Amino acid sequence: RFRFCGGEDCADWILAEIFTLSKLSSVKLKLLCQYVMQAILADILHLSEAQKIVGDKFESGDLKASIRALQYILTMSAKHSVDGQSLLNELTQLGLPKEHANALVKIYDEHFEKLTDKLRSSVMRLTKMNDIHWNIFDVKTTNNLHDMHLPVVTMNLNYDDNIENQAKSISFSMNPEQFAVLLAESGATFRLFSSDAGTYKEARPFFISPKSLINDYFDGNLAPVFQTINSHTFVFVMYYAHFCGISRRMRDPYENAAAFYRERTQNGNDTVDKFHVKFIAVNCFYHTGQCRKS
What is the per-residue pLDDT for 196? 47
Examine the pLDDT at 74 and tell me if it is beyond 90.
yes
pLDDT higher for 45 or 99?
A: 99
- Are the C-beta atoms of 73 and 14 separated by less than 8 Å? yes
What's the whole-number average pLDDT of the chain? 80
- Residue 201: the pLDDT is 47
Residue 31 has pLDDT above 90, yes or no: yes
> What CA–CA distance (Å, rounded) separates 138 from 165?
37
The tens digit of pLDDT for each residue in 151-208 reads: 888 999 998 876 667 888 999 999 888 888 888 888 777 766 655 444 444 667 888 7
Q: How far is CA 126 from CA 38, 165, 245, in A?
A: 14, 10, 20
More confident site: 142 or 250? 250
**In the predicted structure, residue 48 carries a pLDDT above the cut 90:** no
pLDDT at 283 (0 to 100): 84
Note the pLDDT of residue 199. 44
- pLDDT value at position 126? 63
Mean pLDDT value across residues 248-271: 74
Q: Which of 66-70, 169-173, 264-268, 284-288 has the lowest mean pLDDT?
A: 264-268
pLDDT(231) > 70: yes
pLDDT value for 200: 42
Cα–Cα–Cα angle for 214, 219, 220, rounded to 5 degrees:
95
| pLDDT (average), residues 124-132 | 73
Q: What is the CA radius of gyration of the chain?
A: 25
Q: What is the DSSP string of 26-70?
A: HHHHHHHHHHHHHHHHHT---HHHHHHHHTTSS-HHHHHHHHHHH
User: Which carries the bigger pLDDT value, residue 209 or residue 270?
Assistant: 209
| Contact partners, residue 9, CB within 8 Å, separation at least 6 | 1, 2
